[in-house]
Structure 1
Amino acid sequence: MQRSFSVYVEFDTADISPDTYADLFDALHDVDGAAGPAPNGNASMRLTVQAYSVMQAAIDGTERAQAAAITHGLSPDAVIGLEVITEAERNRRNALEEVPAPYRQERGA
């Protein structure tokens, strides 16, 4: 059974214009994608893919991000980071971010 995975891809490319990020966002629309600077200033994209496994999601997500990068002047060979998690795990993490730090319960506690 296929599951939804959240794929985060970071490129070793900084100083991307806001217009390029807007174009990347539009290019990733059909995969609930987003594009913007990573905390270190590099270009990054997050998208949702349907896959049977983490490995398949990693491949499909990376290829999709690279395809968007190519069409907007970024090198597809500049990928330096990748994170793949299930959408359920992403939702869990996002819920933790909304809770003030003193009220977070550590996993397994």
Structure 2
Amino acid sequence: MLQQMRDDLATPVRVPELATAVSLSPDHFIRAFVKAMGVTPYAWHLQLRLREGRRRLKAGHRPGVVAAELGFSDQAHFHRHFRAAYAQTPGQLRRQWP
């Protein structure tokens, strides 16, 4: 299940589907996930998406392209989460890495 979430960063986390895959109710799945990982499935997946976004920005990709490829609804959505996680905007990071 974790690998599936890692492999498909652009698709939103669907708790009912993940819970069914491991034969748990959605509520039990969330509790077990938080106990094992320390965060909710959505938060864990968001962390993966932001980490991959950071890697792509450092590789020279444009923020708008990165946002679209990683399933953010728009560039502003990516920008808001990125700045909250890394205390800088995607553009600022990109300018640091020529």
TM range (shorter): under 0.3
The structure with the greater share of residues assigned to helix is: 2
The structure with the greater share of residues assigned to strand is: 1
Normalising by structure 1, we get a TM-score of 0.25
Normalising by structure 2, we get a TM-score of 0.27
Q: Which has the higher contact order (CA 8 A, sep 6+)?
A: 1
